Amino acid sequence: DAGVTQSPTHLIKTRGQHVTLRCSPISGHKSVSWYQQVLGQGPQFIFQYYEKEERGRGNFPDRFSARQFPNYSSELNVNALLLGDSALYLCASSLGGGRHNEQFFGPGTRLTVL
């Protein structure tokens, strides 16, 4: 069974550019969450989507946006990149949006901003 997949694996951008990261959840999962993991820290919550609706948003600026498509895949967009946006971006999927639903993580996209 395919797990959560993310693309691309690695990405190098320069300050001020825009980036789009993609996530495909496990088949049958309707909820996707995005996390940012800066080197040496734990992941920090960015967004959660359930049934294509935004269910939660972390403490990130409006440069960060996301959406979920009818097939439950998701995109995370970051505009006007800053050096501090360099991080591992993790996507997690779960069956539903409730507390009992285990979140399964993908391998992440490593973003480097120069």
Partner 1 sequence: AQSVTQPDIHITVSEGASLELRCNYSYGATPYLFWYVQSPGQGLQLLLKYFSGDTLVQGIKGFEAEFKRSQSSFNLRKPSVHWSDAAEYFCAVMDSSYKLIFGSGTRLLVRP
Give the whole-angstrom CA distance, residue 87 versus residue 66: 17
Q: State the nearest-atom distance from the C-beta of 16 to partner 1, in Å.
A: 28
98 in contact with partner 1 (CB under 8 A): yes
Piece of the chain touching partner 1 by CB under 8 A; list 12-20, 63-71, 73-81, 100-108: 100-108
* Dihedral sign computed on CA atoms, order 42, 109, 90, 64: positive
Of 15, 14, 23, residue with least CA distance to 46: 23
Residues in touch with partner 1 (CB under 8 A): 4, 33, 35, 40-45, 48, 55-56, 58, 90, 92, 97-108
